[in-house]
């Protein structure tokens, strides 16, 4: 038997694990019955904005910079066929607000094979459209007070920009370098829609930050925005290739401690990088004092983890239609569309280090529209032991430490650096300089002993065994009569429902496991009449439309593994219009569109890997959010609870669990909500809950963690 795990709003007893989520493509609407009333929803965008994406500013071994694919629209992934990492940011499309629309119930039942999760190439998904303009860059460049530079060889191209070597031919002082890197971004590129690239704003704050190359001048000349930057040497990707696609552990340990130091300084400035990978770490110019010094480039996807005005950590959010980073190295939270924070840079660094040693990560090779979904699922299901086999122990320790961090947790950079000390060679033998790590302090070992003595054991956020369990949600209610039935065969449904109706009960929620049904019936629904259909067709369109015409609205749904479904429709609901969708992946794009039209999710279910989602107008909610994960999004649910949200719908497949959390328009007298995860139907716990006036509000069977 798997352990039974509980958690409660504002008084959780356990912090569990996190999950990823996929997304679909919209189908055309079928229109039915009239309705009225519009509800408005606060809609929040993703944190940060990826503007220009700097290609590697490299001199030395040529750097393969794959051509960036065409931009995906909001909620669409990029069709991927290449295997080499390229960055990207998938952002949602703008949806027209207030557009005139027929006041009818809507059915969207053509199952779409949607994007399992926003994705890009092996690697960078940046909602980017490669600038197709053939406008040649100018032969000579002068921006602001800069010297005049003559354009020489091209260093790279990717994303929005092109990078060239620039040689100083006139003007300037002895302090101005003879050779610089010139990054050009066309004014019509997507990153320059509203003026200079976003990256410029980041450099305004970070210029001079340890490990970040200097930007000496910037400005516009003709059709291009231009950055004049330090010219650097080969990337770690180049070095890795030159070493036979595998680096020795002592070299990677030096990279690890210096990269942690660079990220620490970056984070102290209030930013996260958002695209940590081998291609974005460069060494200094060969033959110079800095040839072994490590630099971090490409700030196009950087975002703030700390609010510039208040100094507080940015708020947690999850938008499954937004992905920022490079698929191969992105954190699982980035795949899931969660707001970026310091833990994400460190998780991406862990994958980078393992890649440099082993030459391959377990999720390389996935192709297709749902690539990001598959990669995220693989990342969450691959244990640190398996991922770090054949790597020295410190790399596994580092991976475990960073994947267990909470959203707003401050990393213990000193402790993370100390993990690799046993692999660091004497100064004269180090292949990479570790100046930043040495500045942490010569007494780091003694400090670490004190830190470890004071630390309390941390609850694990993500490590655990994937499981399939019952998930039940309990709300505080005034005392009322409630009844449950489970393991109900098709032939016994009518008997239980008729008996409940005779006793004044109506169905409040339904679920399915192993093709058997679970029914919750109670006296507090407020329904005046109810009909149901058990159909071999998942969410039988014709029957639903027929009941809509009779002024019944969908109040609960359940799907079975064999594809059948149980649909319950009621009178006496507050709803004035409904729409539902069947999709091969979680339809966040569609949900987001309907939110903007005044709908809210009121029921969800799954049948196998298919999702069915019902949205209604006048549902009584002022705001609504989604928590989607491949395990169980305990941290996200607890954060939402703390912000006043309560779970109002949930569903799960064998791979994923999705929770809809809402803020009611009318404040509840008692906001207590608890969840329970059990291997068997929670019949042994329901009476205990009833004794505390906690009643089953929602139930489903599917993916969790134990």
H helix intervals, 570-667:
588-596, 634-642
* Spatial distance between the Cα atoms of 349 and 281, rounded to a whole number of angstroms: 11
Asked if residue 325 lies in contact with residue 301, where contact means CB atoms within 8 angstroms, the answer is yes
Pairing of strands 610-617, 599-607: antiparallel
Q: In what order do the strands lie in the sheet with 657-664?
A: 621-629, 657-664, 646-652
Total H helices, total E strands in the chain: 16, 31
Task: Of 602, 347, 579, give the one whose Cα is nearest residue 461.
Answer: 347
The answer for residues whose C-beta is within 8 angstroms of residue 664's C-beta and 6 or more apart is 620, 621, 622, 646
Judged by DSSP in three states, 223 sits in coil
* Spatial distance between the Cα atoms of 664 and 666, rounded to a whole number of angstroms: 5
Q: In what order do the strands lie in the sheet with 506-513?
A: 482-488, 516-522, 506-513
Tell the burial category of 207 from Cβ atoms under 10 Å away from its Cβ (0-12, 13-18, 19+).
middle
* Spatial distance between the Cα atoms of 641 and 315, rounded to a whole number of angstroms: 13
Phi/psi of residue 161, nearest 5 degrees: -115, 165
* Spatial distance between the Cα atoms of 664 and 317, rounded to a whole number of angstroms: 19
* Spatial distance between the Cα atoms of 429 and 282, rounded to a whole number of angstroms: 20
Q: In what order do the strands lie in the sheet with 610-617?
A: 30-34, 104-112, 577-583, 610-617, 599-607
Cβ neighbours of 268 (radius 10 Å):
12
What token pair was written down for 3? 């352990």
Please tell me what DSSP assigns to residue 341.
-
Residue 607's DSSP bridge partners are: 610
The answer for residues whose C-beta is within 8 angstroms of residue 320's C-beta and 6 or more apart is 21, 22, 23, 117, 118, 336, 337, 586, 588, 626, 628
Report the catalytic residues. 275
């Amino acid at each position: 038997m798997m352990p039974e795990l509980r958690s409660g709003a504002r008084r959780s007893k356990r912090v569990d694990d996190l999950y990823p989520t996929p997304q679909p493509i919209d189908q055309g609407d079928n229109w039915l019955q009239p309705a009225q009333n519009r509800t408005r929803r606060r809609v929040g965008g993703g944190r940060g904005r990826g503007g220009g994406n700097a290609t590697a500013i490299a001199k030395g071994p040529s750097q393969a910079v794959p051509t960036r694919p065409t931009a995906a629209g909001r909620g669409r992934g990029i069709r991927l066929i290449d295997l080499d990492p390229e960055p990207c940011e998938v952002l949602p499309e703008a949806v027209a607000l207030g557009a005139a629309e027929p006041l009818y119930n809507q059915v969207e039942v053509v199952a779409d094979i949607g994007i399992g999760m926003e994705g890009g190439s092996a690697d960078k998904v940046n909602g980017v459209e490669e600038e197709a303009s053939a406008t040649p860059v100018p032969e000579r460049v002068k921006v602001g007070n800069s010297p005049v530079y003559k354009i020489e060889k091209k260093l790279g191209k990717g994303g929005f920009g092109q990078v060239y070597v620039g040689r100083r031919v006139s003007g300037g002082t002895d302090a101005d370098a003879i050779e610089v890197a010139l990054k050009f971004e066309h004014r019509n590129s997507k990153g320059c829609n509203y003026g200079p690239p976003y990256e410029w704003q980041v450099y305004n704050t970070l210029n001079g930050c340890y490990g970040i190359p200097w930007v000496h001048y910037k400005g516009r000349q003709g059709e291009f925005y231009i950055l004049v930057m330090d010219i650097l040497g080969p990337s770690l990707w180049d070095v890795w290739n030159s070493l036979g696609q595998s680096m020795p552990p002592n070299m990677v340990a030096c990279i690890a401690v210096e990269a942690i130091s660079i990220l620490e300084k970056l984070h102290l400035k209030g930013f996260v990088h958002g695209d940590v990978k081998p291609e974005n770490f460069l060494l200094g110019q060969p033959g110079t004092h800095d040839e072994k010094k490590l630099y971090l480039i490409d700030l196009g996807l950087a975002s703030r983890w700390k609010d510039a005005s208040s100094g507080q950590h940015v708020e947690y959010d999850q938008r499954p239609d937004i992905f920022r980073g490079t698929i191969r190295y992105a954190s699982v939270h980035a795949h899931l569309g969660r707001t970026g924070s310091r833990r994400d840079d460190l998780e991406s660094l862990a994958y980078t280090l393992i890649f440099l040693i082993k030459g391959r990560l377990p999720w390389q090779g996935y192709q297709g529209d749902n690539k990001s979904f598959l990669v995220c699922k693989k990342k969450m299901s691959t244990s640190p032991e398996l991922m770090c086999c054949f790597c020295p122990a410190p790399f596994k320790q580092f991976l475990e430490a960073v994947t267990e961090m909470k959203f707003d947790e401050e990393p213990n950079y000193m402790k993370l650096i100390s993990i690799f000390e046993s692999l660091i060679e004497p100064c004269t033998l180090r292949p990479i300089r570790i100046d930043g790590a040495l500045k942490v302090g010569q007494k780091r070992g003694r400090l670490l002993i004190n830190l470890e003595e004071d630390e309390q054991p941390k609850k694990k956020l993500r490590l655990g065994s994937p499981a399939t369990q019952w998930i039940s949600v309990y709300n505080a209610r005034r005392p009322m009569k409630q009844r449950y039935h489970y393991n109900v065969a098709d032939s016994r449904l009518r008997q239980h429902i008729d008996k409940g109706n005779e006793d004044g009960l109506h169905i409040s929620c339904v679920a399915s496991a192993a093709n058997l049904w679970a029914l919750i019936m109670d006296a507090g629904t407020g329904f005046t009449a109810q009909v149901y259909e058990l159909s071999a067709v998942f969410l039988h369109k014709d029957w639903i439309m027929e009941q809509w015409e009779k002024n019944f609205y969908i109040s609960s749904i359940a799907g079975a593994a064999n594809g059948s479904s149980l649909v319950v429709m009621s009178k006496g609901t507050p709803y004035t219009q409904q729409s539902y969708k069947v999709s091969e992946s979680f339809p966040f794009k569609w949900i987001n569109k309907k939110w903007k039209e005044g709908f809210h999710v009121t029921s969800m279910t799954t049948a196998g890997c298919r999702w069915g989602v019902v949205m209604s107008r006048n549902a009584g909610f002022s705001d609504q959010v989604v928590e989607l994960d491949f395990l169980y999004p305990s941290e996200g649910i607890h954060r939402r609870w703390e912000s006043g949200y309560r779970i109002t719908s949930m569903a799960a497949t064998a791979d994923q669990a999705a929770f809809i959390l809402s803020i009611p328009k009318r404040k509840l007298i008692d906001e207590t909500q608890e969840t329970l995860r059990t291997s068997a139907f929670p019949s042994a716990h329901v009476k205990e809950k009833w004794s505390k006036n906690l009643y089953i509000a929602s139930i489903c069977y599917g993916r969790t963690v134990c």
